[in-house]
């Protein structure tokens, strides 16, 4: 399915594109494309700087080639030393269960179900993290876009989707500054 077109998250104006970046001439800003994921962040993730997030994402992507989803999540927590091992185990278990939780959440909302019935329904997942709700959405919607301010989590979400034989448009951006035109989605969801 054709990807949704982007606009500048700051001014909502048009963007030109090159393989390595999207450019807003009006704002004089370039938004990089890193590992095939556009990064439209207006401000960084509060936990990690932009460049450090890209480095960590690249490190995770290198590991993804030889790891399954669970091993990749475990690797993430192994290279994130600020979390105690017990919390890392809990977070890993939550990530593994996230797709089932996402299915339950989507199925529990009649308004969501009604909006997803139309062919080609577009769904935006705000804060995709490891892609649990995102995966569930790909089973129900015609076009799914997952965003997160954390680039590194989008790399892990992509692995989850690949293992399931699914795809979604992944975009690194701030929920407050979306790189999409108004009214571009039939359903907008967020788990947390």
Both structure tokens of 89: 């185990």
7, part of any domain: no
Give the pTM. 0.94
pLDDT in tens, 120-176: 889 999 999 999 999 999 999 889 999 999 999 999 999 999 999 999 999 999 999
pLDDT at 87 over 90: yes
Both structure tokens of 112: 């969501």
98, part of any domain: yes
55, part of any domain: yes
The CATH number covering residue 118 comes to: 3.40.50
Structural domain boundaries, residue 45: 36-189
18, part of any domain: no
- Mean pLDDT, rounded, of the chain: 95
Orientation angle between helical segments 151-164 and 50-64, nearest 10 degrees:
20
Residues 190, 125 contacting (CB under 8 angstroms): yes
Question: What band does 21 get if pLDDT is binned at 50, 70 and 90?
Answer: very high
28, part of any domain: no
14, part of any domain: no
Give me the DSSP letters along 63-125.
HHTT--HHHHHHHHHHT-TTS-HHHHHHHHHHHHHHHHHHHHHHHT-HHHHHHHSSTT-EEEE
The pLDDT value given to residue 1: 58
Number of domains in the chain: 1
137, part of any domain: yes
104, part of any domain: yes
């Amino acid at each position: 399915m054709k990807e949704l077109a982007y606009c500048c998250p700051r001014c909502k104006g048009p963007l030109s594109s090159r393989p390595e970046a999207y450019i807003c001439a009006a704002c004089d800003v370039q938004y990089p494309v890193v590992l095939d994921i556009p990064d439209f962040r207006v401000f960084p993730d509060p936990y990690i700087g932009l460049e450090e997030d890209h480095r960590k994402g690249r490190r995770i992507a290198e590991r993804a080639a030889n790891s399954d989803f669970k091993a990749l999540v475990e690797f993430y927590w192994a290279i994130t030393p600020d979390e105690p091992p017990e919390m890392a185990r809990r977070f890993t278990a939550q990530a593994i269960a996230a797709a089932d939780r996402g299915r339950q959440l989507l199925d529990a909302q009649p308004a969501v179900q009604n909006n997803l019935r139309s062919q080609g329904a577009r769904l935006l997942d705000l804060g995709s993290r490891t892609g649990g709700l995102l995966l569930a959405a790909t089973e129900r919607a015609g076009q799914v876009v997952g965003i997160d301010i954390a680039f590194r989590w989008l790399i892990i979400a992509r692995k989850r989707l690949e293992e399931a034989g699914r795809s979604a448009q992944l975009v690194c951006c701030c929920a407050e500054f979306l790189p999409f035109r108004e009214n571009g989605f039939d359903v907008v969801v967020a788990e947390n």
